[in-house]
């Protein structure tokens, strides 16, 4: 909000003008009296002059016949006449007045200095003065007529009017015209009129300026107070009345409060500055008539006495800052807070983080950052609409707020991302407990728009301390830890470790867009890898593995895009594509006389969505593949953090006749006890267990134990990643049921596997693939 300086300056001049106006009025009053006196004197002189002139003429007539005694009398009369004329002229010169003398009966005008007034020569002046009317400003003509007729009719004691008349140059000048009939006949008819004229153009302009100034004073949108040199209020304008509630006349009360406020700032200093610089300003507090206080921006301007440096008046201007302050506060709030949740936004967060890092540098205490991101939020937005999405974010914001304290500040970075800055971090397990609690609180069902929604979040944590704490690094590392938590399937937290890669979000976003398009355009295809039965020495099944043919980058590994699909909610679409392709392919093989079990990897993200059962039913029906020829692989870690509901879904699918395999066994918590509860048919031992299966090796001992126990649980055992004949032989000796790996065949498109499958894999076990 800007305050212009033009108005206050004009206003201070205007205050000056007000003061001048008062002086002027005083002067004019005096002048009026003087003029009236002079007029009377003039009339007297003119009459006397004429009497003398008459005397002179009669004397002259006598002269021809008279003696020298008479000529002396004549001389005396002449002298008297001259003296009176001189006196008259002097009086006229002093007053700036021009004299006119109108012989009404003969319509003859005597006018002194008409040439000076109107810029005319004597002859022209005579003509003009005989009839003024054509020269008077049309707007003023009626006023002139009116004034004259009223006086001639004896309805006014004197003739007085102000009007404009055209100067020989063409411009208008203001004239003040006054006069009086000095002789009338018995019937009251005017015979002679005497008067004065003068140029009042300058005075009129001055008055107009004053009028203008006074209008500005009253119509200004700032409150104005005219004060004396001691800062006591003399007069105020209408805005002042509106702003303060004090009526004109009771402004002193406001003034007293203001005076005390100025006293606190220092009256001497204020007056000093007014004297030195001519102005002073500050934000002070005013008191309204109602009793309430309000912030105001006050500017004082010095008005000096005429012709001196002395402070005569002080004009004060102020504007009520209440609304300005409120707007400012609101704007500040909006600029630093998130509208949806009311939490601090990214900009305020950055500042707080910066402050916290500086403080941490001083106190040498650790600072932690929890980057909290809701899992599958995009999907939620897509399924339930952004309104529900917004409501969920508000609820999440409120739930997270419960964790805030002077040591923990929360912000929303945008989208479904929140961040918590934790200062004075103690032990690491405190942070871990905090993260666990946050995850637990966010898992509580959210009820909105009649839906009960289950949420989960992922948290990336980074910790820093010391003087050289770098907030950018802290942010980036929390981001990397978050990525990691997402990669782990979400609903978990990760503390940053050095080996986590920092990923620029832009690349990921681009990849997401491309994957979305790739899925639509059929660039994601299933390859198949045979599973070889060690009892029958035949290929009994295949595992479908997703491949993405990227238009520019070529074939992309699922390691790179599965976690992305899981995070972005694209996993459901991807799963369905692979499931359909695999079932259709399985049915095609069956129709060609090759009975194979096709295995499809399922993601727990997809399973949690709860429509997997319907999907499997639909795909089996559409493809015509018998249920027992479909196997679904689920990783051990995914099953471990699964809820009751998840296990129920698996059981339902299994009830259709579909086989269930536990994938990557040994990489998670490897709880065989837990496996008892899992409705599964087979177990896939992770390839990390079979590096060295030579006699008495540790791997061999573990693998043997797994196989034995799995058999005890009635589970078939398949070992993954078998690359050598030695591995295969050892596994066969341990009683392993089946193997999968490059030794048998690498994953390949269905068409390329045709020959291998037709042979049933016979003879494959002896030669590693590609050899
Ligand atoms: P996985 O389910 O454990 O699949 C086996 C992985 O081991 C495959 O990697 C396969 O190419 C690789 N492999 C097979 N034989 C050998 C071997 O002899 N030696 C070695 N070193 N590796 C071998 P791939 O295809 O890159 O898939 C990686 C992971 O991606 C899979 O691990 C699976 O978890 C996931 N994935 C692949 N396709 C899908 C899918 O359609 N849906 C889901 N949800 N996940 C999938
Ligand atoms: Ca698998
Ligand atoms: Ca596996």
* Residue spans of beta strands (DSSP E) within 185-253: 190-199, 223-228, 233-236
Q: Report residue 549 as tokens.
A: 């043919």
Ranking 485-494, 552-561, 568-577, 599-608 by mean pLDDT, the lowest is: 485-494
DSSP string over 354-403: HHHHHHHHHHT-EEEEEEEEETTHHHHHHHH-HHHHHHHHHHHHHHHHTT
Ligand nearest the Cα of residue 529 is 1
* Residue identifier of the C-alpha nearest atom 11 of ligand 1: 747
Whole-number Å distance between alpha carbons of 474 and 155: 98
Using DSSP, state whether 182 is helix, strand or coil. Answer: strand
3-state secondary structure 7-44: HHHHHHHHHHHHHHHHHHHHHHHHHHHHHHHHHHHHHH
* Residue identifier of the C-alpha nearest atom 12 of ligand 1: 721
The segment with the largest mean pLDDT, out of 518-522, 557-561, 672-676, is 518-522
Q: 546: Cβ below 6 Å to ligand 1?
A: yes
Structural contact between residues 509 and 481, judged by C-beta atoms closer than 8 angstroms: no
* Confidence (pLDDT) at 140: 93
Residue 437's alpha-carbon distances to 114, 441, 691, in angstroms, are 104, 6, 40
Q: 719: Cβ below 6 Å to ligand 1?
A: no
* Residue identifier of the C-alpha nearest atom 41 of ligand 1: 546
Q: Name the region of 735 (left: φ>0; alpha: ψ -120 to 50; beta: rest).
A: left
Q: 489: Cβ below 6 Å to ligand 1?
A: no
Q: 742: Cβ below 6 Å to ligand 1?
A: yes
Give, for ligand 1, the residue of 527, 558, 563, 660 to mutate: max count of ligand atoms closer than 8 Å to Cβ: 558
Encode pLDDT of 662-695 as tens digits. Answer: 998 876 545 566 677 788 999 999 887 888 888 7
Does residue 452 carry a pLDDT above 70? yes
* Confidence (pLDDT) at 13: 57
Q: What is the mean pLDDT of the chain?
A: 83
* Confidence (pLDDT) at 726: 94
Structural contact between residues 769 and 752, judged by C-beta atoms closer than 8 angstroms: no
Sequence-distant (≥ 6) Cβ neighbours of residue 434 within 8 angstroms: 370, 403, 422
Percent of the chain scoring above 90 in pLDDT: 40
* Confidence (pLDDT) at 92: 67
Give the nearest ligand 1 atom to 546 CA. 38
Q: Report residue 485 as tokens.
A: 């938590």
If pLDDT is split at 50, 70 and 90, which confidence band does 137 have? very high
Encode pLDDT of 336-361 as tens digits. Answer: 899 899 999 988 998 899 899 888 88
Ranking 47-51, 338-342, 550-554, 596-600 by mean pLDDT, the lowest is: 47-51
3-state secondary structure 428-469: HHHHHHHHHHHHHHHHCCEEECCEEECCCEEEEEEEECCCCC
If pLDDT is split at 50, 70 and 90, which confidence band does 52 have? low
Cα 366 to chain centroid, rounded: 34
If pLDDT is split at 50, 70 and 90, which confidence band does 771 have? very low
Ligand 2 center to 632 CA (angstroms): 9
Q: 603: Cβ below 6 Å to ligand 1?
A: yes
Please state the rounded mean pLDDT for residues 401-406.
94
pTM above 0.75, yes or no: no
If pLDDT is split at 50, 70 and 90, which confidence band does 577 have? very high
Does residue 59 carry a pLDDT above 70? no
Ligand nearest the Cα of residue 531 is 1
Burial class (CB in 10 A: 0-12, 13-18, 19+), 264: exposed
Bridge partners of residue 313, in order along the sequence? 228, 303
Does residue 615 carry a pLDDT above 90? yes
Ligand 1 center to 451 CA (angstroms): 37
Ligand nearest the Cα of residue 564 is 1
Between 767 and 148, whose confidence is greater? 148
Does residue 8 carry a pLDDT above 70? no
Ligand 2 center to 505 CA (angstroms): 28
Q: Report residue 18 as tokens.
A: 């007000």
Phi and psi for 238 in degrees, rounded to 5? -65, -35
Bridge partners of residue 268, in order along the sequence? none
Helices 558-568 & 571-591, crossing angle to 10 degrees?
Answer: 120
Q: 663: Cβ below 6 Å to ligand 1?
A: yes
Ligand nearest the Cα of residue 685 is 3
The residues placing their C-beta within 5 Å of ligand 3, an ion, are 663-664, 720
Between 383 and 603, whose confidence is greater? 603
Cα 31 to chain centroid, rounded: 63
Structural contact between residues 726 and 699, judged by C-beta atoms closer than 8 angstroms: no
Give the nearest ligand 1 atom to 526 CA. 41
- Residue showing tokens 């096709």: 598
Does residue 319 carry a pLDDT above 50? yes
Does residue 746 carry a pLDDT above 70? yes
Using DSSP, state whether 199 is helix, strand or coil. Answer: strand
Does residue 502 carry a pLDDT above 60? no
Q: 741: Cβ below 6 Å to ligand 1?
A: yes
* Confidence (pLDDT) at 55: 56
Ligand nearest the Cα of residue 747 is 1
Kindly give the pairing relationship between strand 682-685 and strand 659-665.
parallel
* Confidence (pLDDT) at 19: 64
DSSP string over 608-648: HTS-HHHHHHHHHHHHT--GGGEEEEEEHHHHHT--HHHHH
Cα 469 to chain centroid, rounded: 31
Core vs surface per residue 248-258: b (16+ CB within 10 A) or e = eeebeebbebb
* Residue identifier of the C-alpha nearest atom 4 of ligand 1: 545
If pLDDT is split at 50, 70 and 90, which confidence band does 162 have? very high
Does residue 640 carry a pLDDT above 90? no
Give the nearest ligand 1 atom to 571 CA. 44
The residues placing their C-beta within 5 Å of ligand 2, an ion, are 601, 633, 663
């Amino acid at each position: 909000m800007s305050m212009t300086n033009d108005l206050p300056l004009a206003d201070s001049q205007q205050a000056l003008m007000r003061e001048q106006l008062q002086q002027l009025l005083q002067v004019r009053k005096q002048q009026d009296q003087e003029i009236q006196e002079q007029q009377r004197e003039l009339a007297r002189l003119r009459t006397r002059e004429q009497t003398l002139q008459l005397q002179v003429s009669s004397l002259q007539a006598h002269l021809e016949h008279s003696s020298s005694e008479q000529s002396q009398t004549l001389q005396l009369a002449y002298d008297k006449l001259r003296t009176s004329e001189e006196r008259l002229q002097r009086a006229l010169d002093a007053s700036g007045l021009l004299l006119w003398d109108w012989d009404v009966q003969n319509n003859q005008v005597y006018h002194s200095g008409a040439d000076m007034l109107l810029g005319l020569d004597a002859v022209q002046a005579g003509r003009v003065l005989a009839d003024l009317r054509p020269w008077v400003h049309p707007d003023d003509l009626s006023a002139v007529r009116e004034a004259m007729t009223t006086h001639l009719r004896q309805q006014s004691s004197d003739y007085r009017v102000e009007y404009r008349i055209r100067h020989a140059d063409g411009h208008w000048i203001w004239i003040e015209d006054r006069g009086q009939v000095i002789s009338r006949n018995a019937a009251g008819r005017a015979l002679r009129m005497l008067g004065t004229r003068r140029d009042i153009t300058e005075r009129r302009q001055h008055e107009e300026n004053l009028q203008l100034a006074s209008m500005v004073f009253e119509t200004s949108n700032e409150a104005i107070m005219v004060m004396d040199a001691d800062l006591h209020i003399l007069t105020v304008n209408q805005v002042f009345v509106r702003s303060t509630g004090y009526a004109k006349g009771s402004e002193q009360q406001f003034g007293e409060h203001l005076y005390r406020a100025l006293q606190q700032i220092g009256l001497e200093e204020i007056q000093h500055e007014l004297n030195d610089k001519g102005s002073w300003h500050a934000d002070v507090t005013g008191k309204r008539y109602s009793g309430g206080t309000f912030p105001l921006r006050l500017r004082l301007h010095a008005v000096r006495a005429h012709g001196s440096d002395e402070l005569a008046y002080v004009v004060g201007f102020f504007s009520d800052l209440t609304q300005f302050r409120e707007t400012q506060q609101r704007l500040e709030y909006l600029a630093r807070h998130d509208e949806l949740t009311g939490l601090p936004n990214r900009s305020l967060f950055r500042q707080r983080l910066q402050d916290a890092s500086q403080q941490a540098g001083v106190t040498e205490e650790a600072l932690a950052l929890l980057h909290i991101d809701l899992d599958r939020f995009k999907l939620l937005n897509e399924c339930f609409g952004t309104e529900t999405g917004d409501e969920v974010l508000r609820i999440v914001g409120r739930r997270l707020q419960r964790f805030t304290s002077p040591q923990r500040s929360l912000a929303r970075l945008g989208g479904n991302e929140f961040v918590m800055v934790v200062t004075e971090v103690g032990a690491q397990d405190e942070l871990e407990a905090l993260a666990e609690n946050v995850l637990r609180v966010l898992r509580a069902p959210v009820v909105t728009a009649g839906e009960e929604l289950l949420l989960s979040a992922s948290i990336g944590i980074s910790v820093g301390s010391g003087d050289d704490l770098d907030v950018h690094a802290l942010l980036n590392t929390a981001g990397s830890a978050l990525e990691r938590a997402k990669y782990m399937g979400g609903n978990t937290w990760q503390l940053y470790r050095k080996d986590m890669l920092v990923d620029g979000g832009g690349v990921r976003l681009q990849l997401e867009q491309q994957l979305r398009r790739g899925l639509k355009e059929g660039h994601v295809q299933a390859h198949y890898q045979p599973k070889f039965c060690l009892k029958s020495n035949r290929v009994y099944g295949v595992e479908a593995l997703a491949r993405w043919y990227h238009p520019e980058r070529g074939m992309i590994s699922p390691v790179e895009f599965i976690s992305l699909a899981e995070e972005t909610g694209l996993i459901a679409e991807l799963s369905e594509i692979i499931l359909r392709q695999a079932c259709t392919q399985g049915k095609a093989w069956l129709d060609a006389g090759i009975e194979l079990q096709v295995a499809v990897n399922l993601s727990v993200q997809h399973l949690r969505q709860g429509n997997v059962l319907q999907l499997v039913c639909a795909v089996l029906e559409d493809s015509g593949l018998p249920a027992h020829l479909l196997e679904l692989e689920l990783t051990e870690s995914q099953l471990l953090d699964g809820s009751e509901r998840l296990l129920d879904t698996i059981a339902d699918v299994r009830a259709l006749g579909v086989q269930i395999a536990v994938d990557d066994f040994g990489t998670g918590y490897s709880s065989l006890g837990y496996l008892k509860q899992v409705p599964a048919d087979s177990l896939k031992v992770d390839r990390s267990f079979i590096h060295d299966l030579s006699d008495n090796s540790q791997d061999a001992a573990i693998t043997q134990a797994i196989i034995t126990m799995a058999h005890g649980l009635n589970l078939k055992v398949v070992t993954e990643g078998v690359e050598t004949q030695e591995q295969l032989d050892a596994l066969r000796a341990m009683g392993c049921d089946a193997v999968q790996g490059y030794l048998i065949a690498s994953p390949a498109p269905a068409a390329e596997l045709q020959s291998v499958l037709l042979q049933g894999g016979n003879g494959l076990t002896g030669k590693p693939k590609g050899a």
